[in-house]
Amino acid sequence: MTLHMKFCFEEIFKSLEVRNIEVHRFLLEVSKEELIRRLNLRNDVLKKWGLSHLEDELTFFDTLPDHEKINNQQNPELVVQEILDKVGK
């Protein structure tokens, strides 16, 4: 799920936090080029929407703490292991 507006993102996660619901938030980090490649595989409407919001999403992503980011350019098993390591499993 991508939340491209910071206030929406914060509203969801702050609501869970104040209810003492344990949430581990991780975002897969990919290059701008990879995002564009993936958007090009979508239908024209989704592609146009995604490309029009790409810079805002990348800017927002840069504001997130590094411990919430997972490099998605690696083997899926390594991604899973990194997540498990971060949540202490």
d(CA 15, CA 21): 9
* CA 32 centroid distance within chain: 13
Mean pLDDT of the chain: 87
Alpha carbons 24 and 16: distance in angstroms, whole number: 11
Residue 54 · residue 36 · CB < 8 Å? yes
The 10s digit of each residue's pLDDT in 31-46 is 999 999 999 999 999 9
**The token pair that represents 70 in the structure block:** 């997972």
pTM of this structure: 0.66
CB 38 within 8 A of CB 46: no
Identify which has the larger pLDDT, 2 or 87: 87
pLDDT at residue 3 tops 80: no
Task: State the Cα–Cα distance between residues 18 and 14, nearest whole angstrom.
Answer: 6
Quick one: average pLDDT of 58-71? 87
